Amino acid sequence: MRILVTNDDGIFSPGLVALARGGLPFGQVRVVAPNGEQSAMGHAITIQRPLKYHRVHPDSLDAYRVNGSPADCVALGLYRWEGADLVFSGINLGSNLSHDIWHSGTVGAAKQAVLLGVRAAAFSLALEEEEPEFEPLLPYVEQVITMLLEDQCPDLVNVNLPPDPWGIRWTRRSLRAYSGQVLEGEDSMGRRHYWFATTPLTDPEENTDRRAVEQGLISLTPLRLDLTDEEWLQQMRLIAQEDI
């Protein structure tokens, strides 16, 4: 079993090392991660400049850094390793629930793996403190990986861990309303600047990723890349169109 591990927080993130260590009992692990922070880069790939791939040595892992996005790391990592059986992305410092997955570099990396024909999972930790302890989470990470290795497991899974979990649930994505606020401020030179702030506007729906994590449960959400609105398309086919 060959497992490629990446993230969007960069090669020095403690979450990356934790996920790589979680994968080690299951096979050979290689880390390929961005040089630095790439959070909220989504599924971006780099096409305007060349990429570099350099060996690094965090915790004696087989690890490489790339001057690109999380999805770049997956594409380049799979190319250099000549494929892998699984791609894991994370553990992100912060949850990736509900609409977060549109922006998430952590989830973007996992999607890129699936586009390239490799099963993948994104791992994110709901943060309560700035420097979380990953050690107590390792048994849970291993339990989740065991579930992901079962034959009937979906190809793309979004995993979110609360800080102190007591169980695991399969969930759906919450479709909560999303504020998308813009916060204005001033820098120390008196120049205007802006921050995006995204806070949920409603309580989470039943059996959703957000509800699970709020209740202290690890959330596993199966995702698919097909975004087609089948229901609407079916109606159109009946009304107006012939097959092509």
The residue ranges that bind Mn ion (CB under 5 A) are 8-9, 39, 92
CA distance linking residue 27 with residue 148, whole number of Å: 14
Shortest distance in whole angstroms from residue 76 CB to Mn ion: 19
Pick the closest to residue 206 from 240, 227, 175, 166 (CA basis).
175
Query: For residues 22 and 26, which CB has a smaller minimum distance to Mn ion in the complex?
Result: 22
At its nearest, how many Å lie between Mn ion and the CB of residue 41?
9
- Shortest Å distance, C-beta 9 to Mn ion: 4
* Min CB(227)–Mn ion separation in Å: 23
The residues pairing with 217 across neighbouring beta strands, listed in sequence order, are 167
Tokens of 57: 């040595």
What residues does 167 pair with on adjacent strands?
217
Q: How many CA atoms lie within 13 A of 144 on its CB side?
A: 32
- By beta-carbon proximity to Mn ion, the closer residue of 15 and 204 is 15
**CA–CA dist 27, 40 (Å, integer):** 30
Residue in the shown chain whose Cβ atom is closest to Mn ion: 39
Which residue lies nearer to Mn ion by CB, 89 or 208?
89
- Give 128 or 187: the residue with its C-beta nearer to Mn ion: 128
